[in-house]
Structure 1
Amino acid sequence: MTHHKPTYSLVVIVFLFCTAFGFAQSDKQKALEAKRQQYQKELKQINALLFSDRKKEKSLVSLVEDLNTKINVRRNLIRITNDQANLLTREINANQNEISSLRDQLKELKQNYADMIVKSYKSKSEQSRVMFLLSSDNFKQAYKRLQYMKQYNNYQKEQGELIKAKTLKLQELNTDLLRQKKDKDKLVEENRIVKKQLEQELEEQEVLMASIRKNMKTYASQAKQKQQEIDRIDREIERLIREAIAASNKKAGKNTTATSKFVLTPEAKALAKNFESNKGKLPWPVEKGIVKVKYGKQPSPIDRTVTINSQGVKIATERGTQVRAVFDGEVSQILVIPNANPVVMIRHGNYITVYKNMAKIYVKKGDKVKTKDVIGEVFTNNSTGETMLGFGVYKDSQTQNPASWLYQM
């Protein structure tokens, strides 16, 4: 009877492998679903922050930028929903193949079990068993025959339990298959609605762009002037950071011409290390917000020939929104630039966070702040209706991508 054991073990191994594979697929689905919900949440915030009051007068440029933000997020939602549906298709196919395999295995097991029961029935009488033992040539042979009978009985029980397990697994797979098909149908239907909304938004975008193209020279000139103003503020911030590095190093007794990096005291080094350990987990500088301009170089949504060079991110928020420090630190500078709104700079060891376009400031240079301490209020442009905070992260004098530092940006 020992030749049956490897078959049983193989079935158990395959069963465990399929279960582990199912868990891996489930984890992928959970990750995709989390992303899908995040994009849905972003769309709700965009509607609340940028499209809640359509009567409010906004410039064509602002309307196009708002619509671009919405379109990009909606495209991401469509992409992630497609990924979910495709994964479900693969899971459904895998389940159907496993169901087919299980049915064949179950059929074979039942046939073998039936044959075994018939054979057992024919020789089940106590007299037959006793005669089988008594006909042994010696005690050793009788003992082996007794062990054989026990093994045969145990194998019968194992086969019965295996049939039960296979039947239960088959029922679970069938139930899971029905759920997967319903989930896929739901995703496909939701994606159909989202695609229809995207088509409407693209049509609206084209209408707005047609109006802009009629006077493209003026809008292109405004885009260039806007970028020049941004560059002017960024250059001033960079100058102040270099000065802060030089002053800090001089105070530490490091009279060096190299001013690109802070020389850190043990206390500042510990603060910087703590800041680094929270990378990707820092709170946003505003409670509610949508990223309208990402970090890095990108074409202008109005004139694709104009390149936007963003040293940080621009976060659209509500009128009157308070600005919060994203981490413990010290206010290193309150920057007031002619023809621009104030900027607050907070130092965290050799890191500096920058908060641009402030309307009110509640802190002063040298103040110690804690995470989420309110430092001021975002400026609202009454002519465009925009409430936009510029936020940047520097390591020494080098810019960082804020999306790598703030939670789920």
Structure 2
Amino acid sequence: MKTKYITLLLLCTSTFAWSQQKETQVQLERRKQQIMIEIKSVQKLLQVERTKERNILSEIGEYNRKISLNKQLIKNVQQQINTTNNTIAKTQKEINTLTAELEKLKADYADIIEKSYKNKSSQSRMMYILSSDNFLQAYKRVQYLKQYAEYRKEQGEELKEKTIVLNEKVDKLNLEREKQKVLLNEQQANQKELEQDLIAQTDLMNIVKKDQKKYNEEIKKKQQETKEIDRKIQQLIREAIAEANRKAREAAAKAGSKTTKSKSSSTSAAFELTPEGKLIADDFKANQGKLPWPVEKGYISLPYGDQPHPVQTHLTIHNSGVEITTEKGTNARTVFQGEVLQVQVLPGGNKAILIQHGDYITVYQNLSEVYVKKGDKVSLKQSIGIVNTNSSNKTILKFLLTQNADIKNPQSWLSRSN
């Protein structure tokens, strides 16, 4: 009986541990699929760039991204291999324990069968009862024979149960070993691809080194254009805030109500919020880290803030938002409900849309076509325009987020996956 309870406890414990392990494996597999989708997207861009006029800096940037993703993929698969190895070791230990228990149980059961065989005739059992000294002893012998028969039945059932559990464990072990083989093959393929990408990246870097002055000038020119656009966006935000406040004061004067100036801004440009505007701002703030991405598919190709240039690492570049690389023809979409503050053509000819959410503003930059106009009310995930595709066939949306005129890091506001 005791061994039966031990087997049940072992089965329950291993099932719980397996469910936890399975959950971890599911999370790792989900993340692996996300990384692989990004790698395919980057690989597609690299293939397209090779068919067009070659942009070395752009190509190196894509290789940097692909190498980073491949390293993440290798780490992810290694974690899966480690998890599988742990499962194999644990399952093998359980099989060894069950096998030992089963062997002992078989020996005990064989002993019971042998004893039963010696006393199998009904005449022997009857003589055993009739030879009792008194009625009480006869009664006890009858009960003993019943219990012995029941014990024999239980031992037989336990033998069957342990055999089933053992077979299940062996099947699980074989499955995990097959999974391990697949993962090891994946890891070898990923490592090989990483090595090839590193060679290609080194070749491109050598080309840049031969004409470093030219590429430095190209980078500085690009940064100057970016700064000019950033200044234009800041100007648009301040003008939009001033106009929104003027309209809010006029509306409040007609209604006999008051507006409240936002206190969160370190600058003089701050929204004067109506009670409704404050509710929207509070709701927007409550969704920090949970906002949907401004495109359905894509990856962050240039994060927020100061950082070394991906090619010329001695140069520091600044990004006021995040640049999200996506597919050609992709629509930009709103990350929250709000009102269109401004639609503006930027230096270079592309358009930007500013949307107000209380005292927060989201900016969708580098659009070739827009679907909304100033004053429009927009809903969550509404398509507002087409992201521009440049001459290198790159489709990049620049997304900014401010509270009043204070720039925030958009990455901390967007959900971790799109």
Same fold (TM over 0.5): yes
Q: For residues 133 and 394 of structure 1, do their structure 2 counterparts lie closer, same or farther at Cα, with a shift above 3 Å needed?
A: farther
Deviation of the 1:149 alpha carbon = 4.1
For these two proteins, the number of residue pairs brought into alignment is 403
Deviation of the 1:222 alpha carbon = 3.3
Is contact 1:58-1:385 (8 Å) kept?
no
The SS at the match of 1:371 is coil
- Report which stretch shifted further, 293-302 or 396-405: 396-405
Partner of 2:353: 344
Partner of 1:323: 332
Q: Which amino acid aligns with 1:210?
A: N
Matched, 1:69 2:42: no
Matched, 1:305 2:301: no
Name which of 384, 387, 390 aligns with 2:398: 390
Once the two structures are superposed, the pairs formed by residues 94-173 of structure 1 within 5 Å of their partners are 94-130=90-126, 135=132, 139=136, 146-173=142-169
Counterpart CA distance in 1 for 2:389 and 2:336 is: 25
Deviation of the 1:280 alpha carbon = 5.6
Matched, 1:92 2:88: yes
Name which of 367, 381, 401 aligns with 1:372: 381
Is contact 1:268-1:350 (8 Å) kept?
yes
Partner of 1:209: 205
Deviation of the 1:263 alpha carbon = 6.7
Counterpart CA distance in 1 for 2:367 and 2:347 is: 14
Counterpart CA distance in 2 for 1:161 and 1:39 is: 49
Is contact 2:341-2:356 (8 Å) kept?
yes
**What value does the CA root-mean-square deviation take over the aligned residues?**
3.1
Q: Deviations over 1:295-333 (max 9, x none)?
A: 343321111122233332212234443322233211123
Counterpart CA distance in 1 for 2:27 and 2:264 is: 46
TM-score normalised by L of structure 1: 0.85
Matched, 1:400 2:396: no
TM-score normalised by L of structure 2: 0.84
Counterpart CA distance in 2 for 1:130 and 1:112 is: 25
Counterpart CA distance in 2 for 1:297 and 1:154 is: 78
Q: Which amino acid aligns with 1:45?
A: S
Partner of 1:193: 189
Deviation of the 1:61 alpha carbon = 0.9
Partner of 1:19: 15
- Report which stretch shifted further, 192-201 or 238-247: 238-247
Is contact 1:343-1:358 (8 Å) kept?
yes
Q: Which runs of 5+ in 2 are unaligned?
A: 250-257
Q: For residues 287 and 18 of structure 1, do their structure 2 counterparts lie closer, same or farther at Cα, with a shift above 3 Å needed?
A: closer
Is contact 2:288-2:412 (8 Å) kept?
no
Q: Percent identity?
A: 42
The SS at the match of 1:52 is helix
Is contact 1:280-1:404 (8 Å) kept?
yes
Deviation of the 1:74 alpha carbon = 1.7
Counterpart CA distance in 2 for 1:168 and 1:76 is: 40
Q: For residues 14 and 79 of structure 1, do their structure 2 counterparts lie closer, same or farther at Cα, with a shift above 3 Å needed?
A: same
Q: Deviations over 1:223-267 (max 9, x none)?
A: 344334434444554565566667659745335776457675554
Name which of 243, 253, 263 aligns with 2:259: 253
Is contact 1:57-1:385 (8 Å) kept?
no
Counterpart CA distance in 1 for 2:402 and 2:245 is: 16
Q: Which amino acid aligns with 2:33?
A: Q
Q: Deviations over 1:328-354 (max 9, x none)?
A: 211123344545743212123343322
- Report which stretch shifted further, 299-308 or 334-343: 334-343
Counterpart CA distance in 1 for 2:362 and 2:319 is: 15
Q: Deviations over 1:351-405 (max 9, x none)?
A: 33221122233322221112332222223333x4433210133455351333752
Counterpart CA distance in 2 for 1:335 and 1:86 is: 53
- Report which stretch shifted further, 390-399 or 101-110: 390-399
Is contact 1:282-1:407 (8 Å) kept?
no
Name which of 361, 364, 369 aligns with 1:360: 369
Is contact 1:60-1:208 (8 Å) kept?
yes
Is contact 1:355-1:392 (8 Å) kept?
yes
Counterpart CA distance in 2 for 1:274 and 1:369 is: 15
Counterpart CA distance in 1 for 2:117 and 2:272 is: 89
The SS at the match of 2:32 is helix
Counterpart CA distance in 1 for 2:377 and 2:133 is: 95
Q: Which runs of 5+ in 1 are unaligned?
A: none
Counterpart CA distance in 2 for 1:258 and 1:343 is: 25
Is contact 1:294-1:313 (8 Å) kept?
yes
Deviation of the 1:8 alpha carbon = 2.5
Name which of 19, 26, 30 aligns with 2:26: 30
Q: Which amino acid aligns with 1:330?
A: E
Q: For residues 323 and 152 of structure 1, do their structure 2 counterparts lie closer, same or farther at Cα, with a shift above 3 Å needed?
A: same
The SS at the match of 2:21 is helix
Q: Deviations over 1:84-133 (max 9, x none)?
A: 12221221122222212211111011111111222233344445545555
Q: For residues 228 and 138 of structure 1, do their structure 2 counterparts lie closer, same or farther at Cα, with a shift above 3 Å needed?
A: farther
The SS at the match of 2:260 is coil
Q: For residues 404 and 106 of structure 1, do their structure 2 counterparts lie closer, same or farther at Cα, with a shift above 3 Å needed?
A: farther
